């Protein structure tokens, strides 16, 4: 049973063990050799490893205890949304036999959190788990990195040292993209970002074609709408979400993960001749880490404190990670 607290809260607060128990009721998948009545994991250890981000810690136990229950919950939400659509069609006179029921639109999930907290791994896991269900096999994943302004534009605006802050994104294009997908347009495209080049890839587009579910992952996806130049408040990106997840951890833990990831990238991806950060493989480790610490202190931590953490309370569900990167507590918003 959920942990009870004396102070009223809009969330149900659950331990990992309490949350894990909620995976019961997940429809059994068809796995060769599975024991009747069991719920085998739909992913193998190799598949989980392929989905894991650099520096993130994830294994089959984590998938079973945390993400399998979450995929069950999301499946219930998707089913409930279909029920609401049927109710709306009935109200509009387009129910069964009415000849012209409104078509379904994609279920949109937002995934937010800091740099290096593991939100990309969470997003890829959700995409893989949800796509294994026959009810919604087409699950698309889009990251908001593609909607960052190109580096040349960031330089022109004096924003290169604020890359990742809300103002460094083309927020209007991002919101329009999700709105178009949500509206059921047959084909919608998004720019593509290269972490290797640290910039938008010229001429390359990611095309999304009427997915059953769209996962939108990014630092600031839960930001509230800001007033336009005319003073009128516009729709926020999150206004198009049907469910949202915030990946949470203590700031000091995220800082340590960020530095560990930088060190690992310096030994791997940064060595690629095309890497924007190749310079940091040609200096001492102390100099490279000094740059990483400065970037954390002047860019990533201020963005986290000023823009990302304040949106945590807007999430439907909060996954709180312990210092070892494993999820230990889950907070689910009440209805």
Q: Is 116 annotated as a binding residue?
A: yes
Q: Is 321 annotated as a binding residue?
A: no
Q: Is 113 annotated as a binding residue?
A: yes
Cβ(105)–Cβ(243) below 8 Å: no
Q: Is 286 annotated as a binding residue?
A: no
- Phi/psi of residue 259, each to 5°? -70, -40
Q: What is the H or E stretch that residue 13 is in?
A: strand 11-15
Residue 145: both structure tokens together: 């990195």
Closest CA relative to residue 130, chosen from 112, 107, 146: 107
Cβ(33)–Cβ(119) below 8 Å: no
Q: Whole-angstrom Cα distance, residue 256 to residue 251?
A: 9
- Phi/psi of residue 216, each to 5°? -115, 115
Q: How far separated are the first and last CA of the chain, in Å rounded?
A: 17
Q: Is 158 annotated as a binding residue?
A: no
Q: Whole-angstrom Cα distance, residue 74 to residue 314?
A: 17
Q: Is 119 annotated as a binding residue?
A: yes
- Phi/psi of residue 17, each to 5°? -65, -40
Cβ(324)–Cβ(16) below 8 Å: no
Annotated binding site for ATP: which residue ranges? 113-120
Annotated binding site, which residues? 113-120
């Amino acid at each position: 049973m959920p942990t009870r607290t004396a102070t009223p809260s809009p969330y149900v607060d659950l331990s990992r063990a309490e949350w894990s128990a909620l995976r019961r009721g997940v429809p059994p998948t068809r796995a060769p050799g599975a024991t009747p009545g069991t719920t085998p994991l739909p992913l193998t250890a190799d598949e989980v490893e392929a989905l894991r981000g650099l520096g993130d810690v994830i294994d089959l136990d984590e998938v079973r205890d945390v993400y399998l229950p979450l995929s069950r919950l999301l499946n219930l939400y998707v089913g409930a949304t279909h029920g609401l659509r049927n109710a709306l069609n009935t109200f509009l006179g387009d129910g069964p036999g009415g000849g012209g029921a409104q078509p379904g639109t994609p279920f949109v999930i937002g995934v937010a959190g800091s740099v290096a907290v593991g939100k990309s791994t969470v997003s890829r896991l959700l995409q893989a788990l949800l796509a294994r269900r026959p009810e919604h096999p087409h699950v698309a994943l889009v990251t908001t990195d593609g909607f960052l302004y190109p580096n040349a534009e960031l330089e022109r605006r004096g924003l290169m040292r604020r890359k990742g802050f809300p103002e460094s994104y083309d927020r209007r294009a991002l919101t329009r993209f999700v709105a178009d997908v949500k509206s059921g347009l047959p084909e919608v495209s998004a720019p593509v970002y290269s972490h290797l080049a640290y910039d938008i890839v010229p001429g390359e587009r990611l095309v999304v074609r009427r997915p059953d579910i769209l996962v939108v992952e990014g630092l600031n996806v839960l930001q509230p709408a800001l007033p336009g130049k005319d003073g009128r408040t516009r729709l926020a990106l999150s206004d198009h979400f049907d469910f949202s997840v915030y990946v949470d951890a203590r700031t000091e833990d995220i800082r340590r993960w960020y530095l560990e990831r930088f060190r690992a990238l310096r030994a791997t991806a940064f060595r690629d001749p095309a890497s924007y950060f190749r310079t940091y493989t040609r200096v001492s480790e102390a100099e490279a880490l000094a740059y990483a610490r400065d970037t954390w202190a002047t860019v990533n931590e201020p963005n986290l404190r000023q823009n990302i953490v304040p949106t945590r309370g807007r999430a439907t569900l909060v996954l709180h990670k312990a210092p070892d990167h494993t999820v230990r507590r889950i907070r689910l918003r009440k209805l």
